Amino acid sequence: MLFDILTPERILFGPGTSFRIPAELERLGKRVLLVSGQNTLQLPENLDRVINPLKSSNLAIHYHRIDPEPSAGTVDRGRELARSNNVDLVVGIGGGSALDTAKAVAGLFHSEEPTSAYLRGREVDVTPIPWVAVPTTAGSGSEVTRNAVLIDQENGKKSSLRHESWMARVVVVDPILTMSMPRQLTAWTGLDALTHAIEAYTSRWVVAPSAALAAEAVRLIVQNFFSAYTTGRKEPREKMALGSLMAGMALNTAGAGLVHALAHPVGSRYNLPHGLVCGVLLPYALEFNMAISVDHYAELGYRSGIARRNASVEEAAEKFVLYVRKLVEKLGVPATLGEQGLRREDIQGFVEASKGGSSLSANVRKATLDDLTSILERAL
Ligand SMILES: [Fe+2]
């Protein structure tokens, strides 16, 4: 076995860990650019646990508030702010959009080129400044990956920019910060995490450490998703945050699969939340991959308690796939993308756009362009 695993330098996990943020930041810099969503910082738990402690620290804080689904321009504005204030550290607090933006701002801080040049193929050729990730959703896994998904606003294409030097220096996962997520966001972000875990577990590039992380992530998410969605209890939120973190770590090593290959072009074309598109497409991808993933899905079924240990492999695999389909339904996610605006005439473009991407190469079953077309037609 051969592998090359990138991890952040330090991961702090657990309720209350956000109180350690000021000390961690003071260790890494003096002038901070804090990247967040428009309303993230107003939420009481973020104010009490992150912002107010930072205000009473010795750090100079500059703010970059972003809209959902960041573009190259979002990153460029952050880079300008960072440079004009001579910051030496970037912090992302929020969901995947804030973390991806923070990562790219830190990664391209020393570059003179616009972010769009990198989205169109320029190699990352500069040394980053450090960045710290504080996720407030349980889904994107961006806190432990080396890539940032950004929209090139000139052609509307969503691409993944990445470099191995872009790992966060410190990751602080305080599950309390995820408590105020509304139901719908809990569903969409959790489905993103579940998709990462399943796709990483079945990926062609899976290795023993990523398989262990992914399998445990599936178990944690399957057993806690619905109660995190329906109740305000801490325990399921904590388990979801852990599942999302572990799924992200597995994803960073093993890559994703079919769902992610299609979710990026579809999501950016119709401006749909990433987790929602993943949730709709996941059951179709599981069905397509079933032919050669029976053992994998059965194992996930046994481990998650969906199938009894004495069930046959085929039965356990079927139960697992059925469970995911029903879960998606119970979370209020539509069964098709037609309801979200997908048009038949756009399908060929999405199939073309997914060609050559790393997610498609990682998918366990080779998917031809005809296969992708028929998956999207079924999801219409
Ligand atoms: Fe994702």
pLDDT score for 101: 98
Amino acid (1-letter code) at residue 4 = D
**Three-class secondary structure of residue 79 per DSSP:** helix
Could you give all domains of the chain from N- to C-terminal order, each with its CATH number? 10-177 (3.40.50.1970), 182-378 (1.20.1090.10)
φ, ψ dihedrals at 12, nearest 5°: -105, 125
pLDDT score for 357: 85
pLDDT score for 99: 98
Amino acid (1-letter code) at residue 288 = F
H/E stretch holding 219: helix 208-230
Residue keyed to tokens 């992302």: 92
Digit-by-digit pLDDT tens for the chain (380 residues) are 899 999 999 999 999 999 999 999 999 999 999 999 998 988 999 999 999 999 999 999 999 999 888 999 999 999 999 999 999 999 999 999 999 999 999 999 999 999 999 999 999 999 999 999 999 999 999 999 999 999 998 888 888 999 999 999 999 999 999 999 999 999 999 999 999 999 999 999 999 999 999 999 999 999 999 999 999 899 999 999 999 999 999 999 999 999 999 999 999 899 999 999 999 999 999 999 999 999 999 999 999 999 999 999 999 999 999 999 999 999 999 999 998 999 999 999 999 999 888 999 999 999 999 999 999 999 99
State the distance from the centre of ligand 1 to the C-alpha of 127, rounded, in angstroms: 26
Cα(377)–Cα(380) distance, rounded to whole angstroms?
A: 5
Catalogue the E-assigned strands of 38-107: 60-66, 89-94
State the distance from the centre of ligand 1 to the C-alpha of 338, rounded, in angstroms: 21
State the distance from the centre of ligand 1 to the C-alpha of 141, rounded, in angstroms: 8
* Residue (of 171, 177, 145, 174) closest to 28 by Cα position: 171
State the distance from the centre of ligand 1 to the C-alpha of 245, rounded, in angstroms: 12
pLDDT score for 69: 87
Record the tokens describing residue 325, joined without a space.
């389909």
Cβ(191)–Cβ(31) under 8 Å? no
pLDDT score for 232: 82
Q: For residues 331-358, b (16+ Cβ closer than 10 Å) or e, as one string? A: bebeeebeebebeeeebeebbebbeebe
Cβ(22)–Cβ(59) under 8 Å? yes
Cβ(214)–Cβ(254) under 8 Å? yes
Cβ(171)–Cβ(12) under 8 Å? yes
Cα(92)–Cα(301) distance, rounded to whole angstroms?
A: 35
State the distance from the centre of ligand 1 to the C-alpha of 142, rounded, in angstroms: 9
Cα(186)–Cα(230) distance, rounded to whole angstroms?
A: 9
pLDDT score for 155: 86
Cβ(146)–Cβ(162) under 8 Å? yes
State the distance from the centre of ligand 1 to the C-alpha of 195, rounded, in angstroms: 7
Give strand pairing partners of 91.
Answer: 34, 132
State the distance from the centre of ligand 1 to the C-alpha of 344, rounded, in angstroms: 24
